[in-house]
Amino acid sequence: MRPAGTTQDGAPPWAGVLQAGGRALADLVLPRVCAGCALPGSVLCAPCGSRLARPRLAEPRRHPPGFPPTVAAGAYAGPVRPAVVAFKEHGRAELAAPLGTALALAVATVLTGLPPSSGSSDGGSSDAGSSDAGPVVLVPMPSDPAAVRRRGRDHVQELADRAVAELAAAGLTATTVPLLGRAGRTRDSAGLDAAARRANLTGRFRRLPVLLPPGCRLVLVDDVATSGATLTEAARALTAGAPVGGEPVLAAVVAATPRRVRRPDPPRSAAVLTLRR
């Protein structure tokens, strides 16, 4: 039996708040260093930040059926990897600014810069950036509740919120809608191969009964794409719960495991998205 006043993982409900407060205090006391290369002076230095301004189509090595057209702002390698991990696992919440801007770049690119082979219905670049296109809805990947309690924050929602602000500054209106929920528990996917990841995630997401504006464009957003299993299952849940002829699903991530990648043409709106340091 769980002791009274504790969460499911045994921690008091205010533990996450105290952890977040401690991290904020550390940010004030400790000198700021680049999360990518550890050089002092900035949250993410210019050379490391430039690696998140290289939008590319993410194509997993074993392309899972149903994997949505996905753009990553950069490769999940080199200094990008420790920067993402620092934001996600080590309390570097100030990285929401540069990583959220990178996510906004990926969103803008997947909407306006897909090459012909990416799945666009007209065989060419999407018209998603035109004035008569439908509203943009970012759908954050739902985080595991236990992980949210442990971290004291929902890091994917933070990235999505920052991306919406950056897109607005670039002249592209978007909103975030929690359209996905978790339908069950999953084990940690670390160390699993692609097939095991897919099996682990099958049926784990469900579309929530949220009313969307007509003609909207859904963009799944997450921090990292590796095997593509999570995005594939999330896209399946979105389309399975949608009405006939429902919204097409795209995806955008901060970074993707570098395997087979093709860089799409820069979108018209991406030119004003600059990484904040």
Enumerate residues 6+ apart whose C-beta is below 8 A from 257: 58, 60, 75, 76, 77, 224, 225, 226, 227
Which residue has 């699993």 as its token pair?
Answer: 192
What b/e string do you get for 231-248 counting C-beta neighbours within 10 Å, with b at 16 or more? bbbbbbbbbebbeeeebb
What b/e string do you get for 49-64 counting C-beta neighbours within 10 Å, with b at 16 or more? bebbbbbbbbbbeeeb
Helices (H), 170-228: 194-201
* 74-101: average pLDDT: 96
pLDDT of residue 144: 86
| SS3 label, residue 110 | helix
Which residue has 């059926």 as its token pair?
Answer: 65
113 falls within a domain:
yes
Domain containing 110 equals 17-272
6 falls within a domain:
no
4 falls within a domain:
no
Over residues 105-153, the pLDDT tens digits come to 999 999 986 543 333 334 344 444 443 478 999 999 998 888 888 988 9
Q: Over 70: is that where the pLDDT of 30 sits?
A: no
pLDDT of residue 156: 97
105 falls within a domain:
yes
Domain count, the chain: 1
Residue 240: band (very low, low, confident or very high) from pLDDT cuts 50, 70, 90: confident
8 falls within a domain:
no
* 203-219: average pLDDT: 89
* 48-67: average pLDDT: 90
247 falls within a domain:
yes
11 falls within a domain:
no
80 falls within a domain:
yes
Q: Are 170 and 272 in contact (CB under 8 A)?
A: yes
